[in-house]
Chain A
Amino acid sequence: MTQHRRLMRWLLALGVLHGVVACAGFFAPYDPAEQDRERPYAPPARIHLMDEQGRFHLRPFCYAPKLAEDVSNSLRQETRTTLPVRFFVSGARYRLLGLVPCRLHLFGTSGARVYLLGSDGYGRDQFSRILYGGQISLLSGLLGASLTLFLGAVIGTAAGYYGGWRDELLMRAIDLFLALPWLYLLLALRAFLPLAASSLEAFLLVIVVLAIAGWARPARLVRGVVLSVKERDFVRAARGFGATHSYLLRRHILPETSSVLLTQAAILVPQFVLAEMTLSFLGLGVPEPVPSWGNLLANLQQYSVLVSYWWMYLPALAILPFFLGYLGLASVLQERMGGAYKIEGDAS
């Protein structure tokens, strides 16, 4: 029971996190691609309740960032103009969950823009970009993981259940796939893509490539489970009563693999998110100006950004709660399985 409650808790936490990212348009105050060319690399705004005279304000406010008049960016500070933070304001157009056209934002300021987590080199709001970037990264994680698991389940079941030369063939294919140098193949693949690949196409390509790269491990796990399940007494009995292959697979074998698959899913999603980040970091993922966690971090490739603007590291922090959630979920799931099947703790 407590285990069930823990599971629910992790699921709830993950649900909330994903909900926030899915509704990025509402929580983000600005459009992620909108540039504010007067304020590149503005530091994060501090939210105040007390003003300089020590008066208390019920409505939180911040000070407007200074214009980038001074070239060096170094000593740029806030002006004394106060920007009261207003809630449920109308702002940039967006589509809620990608469907409902909407203009309502959780918060915003009138006049100058407020940068909760600072702005990047184009004066784009980091906070909005991290939220929108999560959509791309998490979606590619979830889609990639489901595609991988689907492929893995199908191939692993086929290999385990039918056995013989089919098993042999598929297992060798798995060995081959595990041995391929994926990063270099990806680099080569990107060069073949048409020039004007839109961001959606680039995104889909990333996912498909990730899934193709990842199916081998889950397939091997599923095969192991199927191999042991198909020799169990209840399966033999069902077969003895004349059950067809499809009936056996549907009713007896596949259900036994579900817990392995679920645990795998909880492990794979963060792995795929990481992989997307790696690709985008290297410039192989989603192109500008669409944000993803990977291309947000790509700014850090420059030494000058690395030593000058600490808030450019924040996208890396945003990932933490998500990964924590998924790992917590994975460990609870693993416990629930009662150690029936050992999970491969792989890190590829």
Chain B
Amino acid sequence: MREARVSFLRNWSVWILLACHAVFLRPAAGIPRQANSPEELLTLPGEIGRPGGRLVISLRAEPKTLNPLTAADAPSREVIGAMQADLVHINRATQLTEPAVAQSWKVSPDGLQYTVTLRKGLRFSDGQPLDADDVLFTFRLFLDEAVHATQRDLLIVGGKPITVRKVDTWTVIFQFAKTYGAGERLFDGFAILPRHLLEKPYQEGKLGQFWTLSTLAKDWAGLGPFRLKEYVPGQRLVLERNPYYWKSDVKGNRLPYLDQLVFLFVPSADAQVLRFQSGETDVISRLGAENFSVLSRQQRGYTMTDAGPGLEYNFLFFNLNDLGEKASPEMTRKQKWFREVKFRQALSAAVDREAIVRLVYQGRGAALWGPVTPGDRRWINASLPRPARSLEKARSLLKDAGFYWTNGPNGDSALVDSDGKPVEFSILTSSSNADRTKMATLIQDDLKQLGLHVQVVPLEFRSLVDRVTQTKEYDACVLGLVASDADPNPDLNVWLSSGGSHLWNPAQGHPATAWEAEIDRLMEQQLTAPSYEQRKKLYDRVQQILAEEQPMIFLASPDILAGAKDTIGNFHPTVLESYVLWNVEQLYFRNGAQSTAR
């Protein structure tokens, strides 16, 4: 069912852009556990909090909109995540789906039909009741091409849009054209919208300009834990508690605990650290390892948390595109090395991944030998070999592939190919990403020990993307991607040879190699495989092929690092975004109405 998400990702430059900033937000929400209270509230387990208080967090940029239909940028999605709710939600801690606005769902035996039962008696944040018509209306908007909803492509499964049908006031049926492995995961992130507010602008065709930042609080409504209160351009966005929120704690107190949630606009990472240090913000996330250790060292009234490796994987890849006519003789020669699998394996063996983790992430990360990080616990192929760095192995692989060494001018040995030409190439990195530039510099030194001369070229990110995807004028490149969910499907576009993010040779008409064809087949199979075990087996094989063929030399994955004031309860950062606000309805101040004086 995730094929849809994938086609959204076909606009891949957006994807990489987002990935590069380690974002790809999904709206946050709670730990739903199925439980039926008489009021049809959802009861969340966990620490009982104290009501009141105002939580301040910084945001990299101002959100562009408050409209869930058109929100594409990370800040907008982060804010909307705290204001909206979806039918089925992925629990960020367990990485499994759980009922949210839907109280339960049933899948037909053929996997094509999802019958969703709504929670009864729910109200939007303006007090208006919710029923199946709102759900129908919501999906009509998301599917209407005229609305240009950013998530529309996700609802196209098997080439056809999902159809939605109302059974009664509380029941809705979703019909798929094709079976999909983990169908209910699709619903995560689709905010259920209020028909009573949006119907009129929709009919007038003004939906695109509706719900901007300047919207008045009374014209806005959602099912999330917070609702709009105030927006001060260039400074902050203030949300207040939604009194009609449909979750409660075990003692029956209605959530959320906090009175207000304030987003401050703080553009640079360093400035965010300073604000957090001075106590202006209560929570900080998306921290780099260096800043994390600065904060850990000077701990005063706050606790830093290392949630372990996230879903970001960084890798080195080579230009394996079929350049045809426009390839220069030099490029043809270089591609001959890059296409040699033993060359790629040799370079992989020569890369010191432990040093990358230690020097780039100060030990707060994990070395990678495949695309699935240890943070993606359910999908990682644990049986992949994790060979330690070995220059001997690299040398013997290169020798097998016909490379040999000559003595360079300074007495150091230089690697040459079978035609006697020296092996030299350049690695692109994004100049705005210090971590990846540092990785490339370490690789440069690793490869120097093999006699390879490598230039590191930091480029502005847009021109880098342009070179990799459009002009294809590059030798090698260090990049990183962040999967949007702990599932193989968001990465379809990277592994399918026809995918736009198949970085080393994107958007192929036919798979260029036999192993790429096999990956294509396996990925298609896992899409329709009915059980997790079967899908896992297929995806394990994909990971194995990638580790053998090394189209990408996987390097390392950084930990998700966050911090919060000691007074904040229920603070449990996760490796899925939005790392710290996913359980915002349960966050509370231990000493009651704290930090109201700002």
Chain A residues with CB under 8 Å of chain B are 33, 35, 37, 40, 68, 71-74, 93, 95, 101, 121-123, 191, 195-198, 283, 287-289, 302-305, 307-308
Contacts and interface: CB of A to CB of B under 8 A. Distances in A.
B457 A122 contact: no
Given A73-B362, A122-B441, A283-B431, A198 B273 contact: no
Given A71-B362, A198-B455, A304-B288, 10 more contacts: A33-B445, A71-B293, A73-B293, A121-B359, A191-B463, A197-B455, A303-B291, A303-B294, A304-B291, A304-B293
B458 interface: yes
B411 interface: yes
Nearest to A34: B445
Contact of A196 (B274, B441, B457): B457
A305 B290 contact: yes
**Nearest 6 CB-CB pairs, A to B?**
A304-B290, A303-B270, A71-B363, A196-B426, A37-B355, A304-B294
Interface in B341-397: 352, 355, 358-359, 362-364
22 contacts: A72-B293, A73-B362, A74-B293, A93-B410, A122-B359, A122-B442, A191-B460, A195-B428, A195-B459, A195-B474, A196-B424, A198-B455, A283-B458, A288-B441, A288-B444, A289-B441, A289-B445, A302-B270, A304-B290, A304-B293, A307-B294, A308-B293
A307 B297 CA distance: 11
Given A73-B362, A304-B291, A304-B293, A121 B355 contact: no
B253 interface: no
B67 to A, nearest CB: 35
A197 B458 CA distance: 11
Contact of A303 (B273, B411, B458): B273
Nearest to B292: A304
B308 to A, nearest CB: 14
Given A74-B297, A195-B428, A289-B444, A302 B290 contact: yes
Interface string B384-426: 0000000000000000000000000011000000000000111
B426 A308 contact: no
Given A302-B290, A303-B273, A308-B294, A71 B364 contact: yes
A245 to B, nearest CB: 48
Chain A at the B interface: mostly helix, strand, loop or mixed?
A: loop
A40 B296 CA distance: 18
A35 B455 contact: no
B457 A195 contact: yes
Interface residues on B, range: 35 or more
B146 interface: no
A286 B532 CA distance: 52
B237 interface: no
Nearest to B440: A288
Nearest to B288: A304
Contacts of A73: 293, 362
A123 B360 CA distance: 12
A95 B438 CA distance: 28
B35 interface: no
B435 to A, nearest CB: 11
Contact of A195 (B363, B444, B473): B473
Nearest to B293: A72
A37 B442 CA distance: 9
A33 B296 CA distance: 31
Contacts of B428: 195
Contact of B296 (A37, A72, A93): A72
A18 B352 CA distance: 38
B456 interface: yes
Contacts of A93: 410-411
A196 B359 CA distance: 25
A68 B270 CA distance: 25
A303 B364 CA distance: 18
A74 B363 CA distance: 13
Contacts of A95: 410
Contact of A37 (B358, B424, B474): B358
Given A122-B441, A195-B426, A283-B431, A40 B359 contact: yes
A163 B458 CA distance: 48
Contacts of B250: none
B327 interface: no
Interface in B76-124: none
A322 B291 CA distance: 34
A97 B459 CA distance: 33
B167 interface: no
B197 interface: no
Among B274, B293, B359, B364, which residue has the most Cβ atoms of chain A within 10 A? B359
A101 B474 CA distance: 35
Contacts of A195: 426, 428, 455, 457, 459, 473-475
Contacts of B232: none
B463 A35 contact: no
Interface in B271-292: 273-274, 288, 290-291
A287 B457 CA distance: 8
A196 B458 CA distance: 11
Contacts of B216: none
B397 to A, nearest CB: 23
Nearest to A95: B410
Contacts of A71: 293, 362-364
B274 to A, nearest CB: 7
A191 B431 CA distance: 12
Nearest to A287: B456
A35 B356 CA distance: 12
Contacts of A308: 290, 293-294, 297
A288 B293 CA distance: 25
B555 to A, nearest CB: 15
B391 to A, nearest CB: 14
B456 A288 contact: yes
Nearest to A72: B293
B274 A37 contact: no
B517 interface: no
A33 B363 CA distance: 22
Nearest to A40: B359
Nearest to B295: A304
Contacts of B364: 71
B99 to A, nearest CB: 40
A68 to B, nearest CB: 6
Contacts of B359: 37, 40, 121-123
Interface string B288-332: 101101101100000000000000000000000000000000000
Contacts of B425: 196
Contacts of A303: 270, 273-274, 291, 294
B434 interface: yes
Contacts of B294: 303-304, 307-308
Among A35, A40, A283, which residue has the most Cβ atoms of chain B within 10 A? A35
Contacts of B293: 71-74, 304, 308
A302 to B, nearest CB: 6
Nearest to B438: A121
